[in-house]
């Protein structure tokens, strides 16, 4: 049996802190533990103490697959298949974590039926992949249609599973860190405190009905900072908060995006931001909608203007051609080779261009790059959403050093209940016919 088989989600020390053992609390399902959200949440809200989350006891388990959002019978099949692989050292798949098996399973099922166009049967495809009704409803929440249509049904399922896996992997550390912070009543070091030059948005703190983290990095995000431009990234708290080192310095390697991305099909070391905070918030809320135990978050960097002044901008026909090369179908060697006229963009330290609103699966069925005309993701005000891509190691190093102390992270869990498009308390509309 491989060494990964009995790894527990929480160590004994963290279990003492987090697990709820009150006789008044309903018992958790077999193989699960009931923990208080306040034991790991970024909030210190009193209401969190009554918010119970059930997590699997063992990381590589059938219960983890059910936590992901798989139907129990499908979770059982995948788990038993994974168990067989752990019996023989040297066998392909031996000592792999179970996330590898579930990703392989979803990709295999997607070859039978997937969905990427509005006219496709998304609900049917997800159910056939083994996704349970709760996660299917979350993926199909109509509040997030614009973002959802940028990927296929299978891609969103896999993205959700990976977010859940990262949450479980990092949960023990979050529980212990939260306990340490409470014990010490820690005050942020000066290296991460906001500077006096920052102008907070009037009334922004008042708009929250629950407190944000009592760290300087969780303070209300300013509208603007003298001599800097605000750039944002939305997603799951576990991943985004990992950019902060223990001493308050930054590790921007944690923000690398997995390929293919809009502007490259193989590079694994690109950092994408958007200047459109509503786009970042939508990604954060969609992440939280799909993985309820986790917090959606927006990471905001105040980047020195001199760092972005020398950017190269891409638009029009070149934008279409670069996206086609990065995310389009490979039908011949010509599709692999980057046209010489486009190297000015891939070699630029910082590239700025619109965000594409089309999924890679749909790309594969286009005939030419000209079909990408106008395929931009739209902001709340129906403007074209844009992205800043930090491409060179030198500009990434400057981002890391020059932004230390100028970064905020904000949880989506405690936004007002009437917050638009998927805020806490608004589960959104379901897609009945799909």
Residue 352 within any structural domain of the chain: yes
Residue 4 within any structural domain of the chain: no
Residue 272 pLDDT grade (very low, low, confident, very high; cuts 50, 70, 90): very high
Residue 187 within any structural domain of the chain: no
| Residue 48 scores a pLDDT above 70 | no
Instruction: Tell me the pLDDT tens digit for each residue of 207-219.
Output: 333 333 334 455 5
Are both 273 and 379 inside the same structural domain? yes
Are both 269 and 354 inside the same structural domain? yes
Are both 151 and 198 inside the same structural domain? no
Instruction: Tell me the pLDDT tens digit for each residue of 321-334.
Output: 999 999 887 766 66
Are both 164 and 96 inside the same structural domain? yes
| pLDDT value, residue 115 | 95
The DSSP-derived string for 223-251 is: SEETTEEEEEEEEEHHHHHTTB-TTS-B-
Per-residue pLDDT averaged across 405-432, rounded? 59
Burial letters for 292-314: b for 16+ Cβ neighbours within 10 Å, e otherwise?
ebbbbbbbbbbbbeebbeebbeb
| pLDDT value, residue 4 | 61
Are both 204 and 133 inside the same structural domain? no
Cβ atoms of residues 242 and 251 within 8 Å:
yes
Residue 285 within any structural domain of the chain: yes
Are both 204 and 115 inside the same structural domain? no
Mean of pLDDT over the chain: 84
| pLDDT value, residue 200 | 37
Residue 203 pLDDT grade (very low, low, confident, very high; cuts 50, 70, 90): very low
The region of weakest confidence among 91-100, 274-283, 386-395 is 91-100
Domain closes at, from 174, 200, 225: 174
| pLDDT value, residue 185 | 45
Helix intervals (H) in 269-332:
277-290, 305-308, 316-327
For 153, other C-beta atoms within 10 Å of its C-beta total 30
Strand pairing partners for 58? 8
| pLDDT value, residue 28 | 87
Instruction: Tell me the pLDDT tens digit for each residue of 369-390.
Output: 889 988 999 999 999 999 999 9
Q: Which among 22, 4, 204, 19 is positioned nearest to 97, based on CA atoms? A: 4
Are both 275 and 138 inside the same structural domain? no
Residue 283 within any structural domain of the chain: yes
Are both 75 and 170 inside the same structural domain? yes
Are both 266 and 212 inside the same structural domain? yes
Distance in angstroms (rounded) separating the CA atoms of residues 59 and 48: 24
Are both 371 and 399 inside the same structural domain? yes
Are both 286 and 384 inside the same structural domain? yes
| Residue 204 scores a pLDDT above 60 | no
pTM here?
0.84
Percent of the chain predicted with pLDDT > 70: 81
Residue 41 within any structural domain of the chain: yes
Instruction: Tell me the pLDDT tens digit for each residue of 129-187.
Output: 999 999 999 999 999 998 998 899 999 999 999 999 999 999 999 898 887 766 654 44
Per-residue pLDDT averaged across 352-362, rounded? 88
| Residue 82 scores a pLDDT above 90 | yes
| pLDDT value, residue 12 | 87
| Residue 198 scores a pLDDT above 60 | no
Cβ atoms of residues 323 and 362 within 8 Å:
no
Instruction: Tell me the pLDDT tens digit for each residue of 92-103.
Output: 778 799 999 999
Residue 146 within any structural domain of the chain: yes
Residue 57 pLDDT grade (very low, low, confident, very high; cuts 50, 70, 90): very high
Residue 183 within any structural domain of the chain: no
Cβ atoms of residues 65 and 97 within 8 Å:
no
Are both 274 and 329 inside the same structural domain? yes
Cβ atoms of residues 194 and 217 within 8 Å:
no
| pLDDT value, residue 20 | 78
Query: What total of structural domains would you count in the chain?
Result: 2
Q: What is the span of the domain harbouring residue 110?
A: 12-174
Sequence-separated (6 or more) residues with CB below 8 Å from residue 137: 427, 430
Distance in angstroms (rounded) separating the CA atoms of residues 417 and 423: 6
């Amino acid at each position: 049996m491989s060494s990964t088989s009995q790894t527990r989600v929480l160590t004994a020390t963290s279990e003492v802190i987090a697990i709820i053992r009150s006789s008044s609390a309903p018992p958790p399902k077999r193989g699960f533990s009931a923990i208080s959200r306040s034991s790991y949440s970024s909030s210190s809200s009193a209401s969190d103490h009554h918010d119970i989350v059930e997590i699997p006891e063992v990381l590589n388990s059938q219960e983890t697959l059910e936590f992901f959002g798989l139907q129990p019978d499908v979770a059982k099949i995948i788990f038993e298949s994974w168990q067989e692989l752990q019996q023989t050292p040297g066998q392909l798949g031996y000592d792999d974590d179970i996330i590898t098996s579930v990703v392989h399973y979803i990709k295999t099922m997607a070859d039978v039926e997937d969905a990427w166009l509005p006219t496709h049967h998304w609900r049917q495809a997800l159910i056939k992949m083994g996704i349970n009704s709760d996660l299917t409803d979350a993926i199909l929440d109509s509040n997030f249609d614009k973002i959802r249509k940028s990927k296929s049904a299978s891609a969103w399922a896999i993205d959700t599973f990976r977010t859940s896996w990262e949450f479980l992997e990092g949960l023990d550390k979050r529980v212990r860190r939260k306990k340490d912070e409470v014990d010490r009543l820690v005050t942020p070091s000066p290296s991460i405190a906001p500077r006096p030059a920052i102008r907070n948005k009037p009334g922004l703190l008042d708009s929250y009905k629950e407190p944000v983290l009592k760290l300087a990095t969780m303070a209300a995000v300013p509208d603007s900072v003298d001599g800097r431009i605000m750039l944002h990234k939305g997603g799951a708290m576990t991943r985004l908060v990992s950019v902060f080192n223990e001493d308050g310095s930054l590790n921007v390697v944690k923000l690398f995006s997995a390929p293919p991305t809009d502007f490259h099909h193989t590079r694994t070391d690109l950092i994408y931001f958007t200047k459109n905070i509503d786009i970042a918030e939508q990604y954060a809320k969609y992440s939280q909608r799909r993985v309820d135990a986790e917090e959606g978050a927006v990471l905001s960097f105040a980047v020195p203007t001199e760092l972005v002044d020398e950017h190269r901008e891409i638009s029009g026909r070149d934008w279409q051609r670069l996206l086609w090369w990065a995310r389009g179908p490979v039908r011949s060697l010509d599709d692999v080779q980057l046209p010489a006229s486009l190297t000015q963009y891939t070699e630029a330290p910082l590239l700025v261009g619109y965000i594409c609103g089309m999924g890679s699966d749909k790309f594969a069925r286009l005939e030419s790059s000209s079909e990408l005309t106008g395929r931009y993701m739209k902001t709340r005000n129906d403007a074209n959403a844009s992205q800043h891509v930090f491409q060179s190691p030198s500009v990434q190093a400057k981002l890391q050093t020059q932004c230390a102390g100028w970064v905020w992270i904000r949880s989506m869990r405690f936004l007002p209940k009437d917050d638009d498009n998927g805020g806490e308390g608004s589960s959104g509309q379901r897609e009945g016919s799909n």
